[in-house]
Amino acid sequence: MIQGIFYSLFAGSLIALQSIFNTNISAKTGSWTMTTVVHGVGFLAGLLIVMFVRDGSVEELLSVNKMYYLSGIFGVLIVYVAAQGMMSLGPVYSFMILMVAQLLIALIINTNGWFNVEMIELTSGKVFGMIIMIIGIVIFQRG
């Protein structure tokens, strides 16, 4: 569990930095150019890591549900729309909204057991937690 918390904190930090960096690149080059460059650099980095780590099987790629390959398109769209949101709202407000949207979709997926995710019960505490986060965004924005 501690390892999962560490990875999640690290990923959240990297996502915040990446989005800010992407916004700065986008301001100079345009959003789609930034998105293409960022994914190209990411592809090269991933390819180098795979060449050295070799943690999976290329043959197993053929057995993956083809729908899951849409995640590459999601990645392109995420980078583009996150940069647009940041340019419009600034990093903090944009990330607050992004985080609530992420949690809401994850909660819907998790409570329905979609995409081979373990099903969890939708409790009043989970609903109340989401409502509190949304209220927090409104308070933050007005403050």
One digit per residue, the tens of pLDDT, for the chain of length 143 reads: 899 999 999 999 999 999 999 999 999 999 999 999 999 999 999 999 988 887 877 778 888 889 999 999 999 999 999 999 999 999 899 999 999 999 999 999 999 999 999 999 999 999 999 999 999 999 988 88
Radius of gyration of the chain (CA): 18
The two most distant CA atoms of the chain are separated, in Å, by: 54
Whole-angstrom Cα distance, residue 34 to residue 112? 36
Q: How many domains does the chain have?
A: 1
Contacts of 80 (CB under 8 A, 6+ apart): 31, 32, 35
Please answer whether residues 22 and 38 qualify as being in contact, where contact means their C-beta atoms are separated by less than 8 angstroms: yes
Rounded CA separation 42/13 (Å): 17
Q: How far is it, in rounded angstroms, from Cα 107 to Cα 113?
A: 10
* Domain membership of residue 52 as a residue range: 2-142
Question: In whole angstroms, how far apart are CA 139 and each of 96, 133, 135, 136, 143?
Answer: 12, 10, 6, 5, 6
* First-to-final CA distance of the chain: 35
pLDDT at 73: 95
pLDDT for res 60 = 82
Task: Report how far residue 21's alpha carbon sits from residue 43's, in angstroms, rounded to the nearest whole number.
Answer: 17
